[in-house]
Structure 1
Amino acid sequence: MQRSKSERLVDIVLGDAVITMLDSGDDIGAVRLIGVLKSMTKIEQNAERLEAIMMAIHEVEATLPQVNSSRDAAILAFNAEPAPDNGRKH
């Protein structure tokens, strides 16, 4: 199947975001990916790329399970990084 120009651009901006995370040594995860994409919207000047970034954010958010806990909701809302899971129960 042939992908549209906008679908290819979404793939490109997702790749750019992943490369940004790898370059900075960040863990790769959906919540962090959304954060990187949101930060990209603040500096993007090209209207087509900005639209693709927004589409990418919506695609990644759609893959997340429903946000049930307030902690996860806060992470998404405030573009924060989740704390590492050290396996300890509090």
Structure 2
Amino acid sequence: MIAAIYFDPLAVHPVIEGEWHRMRSSEIPDPGRTITMLCGASGTTSFKPMSERRSREIPRQCVPCDTIFRRECGIPLPKDRTSRR
């Protein structure tokens, strides 16, 4: 029997040097494949347990990836939001 583990590609955020990114592709890459992020950074994939994600430091979000993602999805940038009272 096969035990399938399903991944949601929208929930996959590769971490490169302490910064998490968003991928250009909507598919889960195979281990060892080079992937490119929205910001243009690239890296070779490896998979690790979630428990190791914060073992050294808490990853911070890549601001360029977030900006591109928000623009493509029509989500206002944090600096463009206005408070309504």
The TM-score normalised by the length of structure 1 is: 0.25
Higher relative contact order (CA 8 A, sep 6+): 1
More strand by percentage: 2
The TM-score normalised by the length of structure 2 is: 0.25
Larger Rg: 2
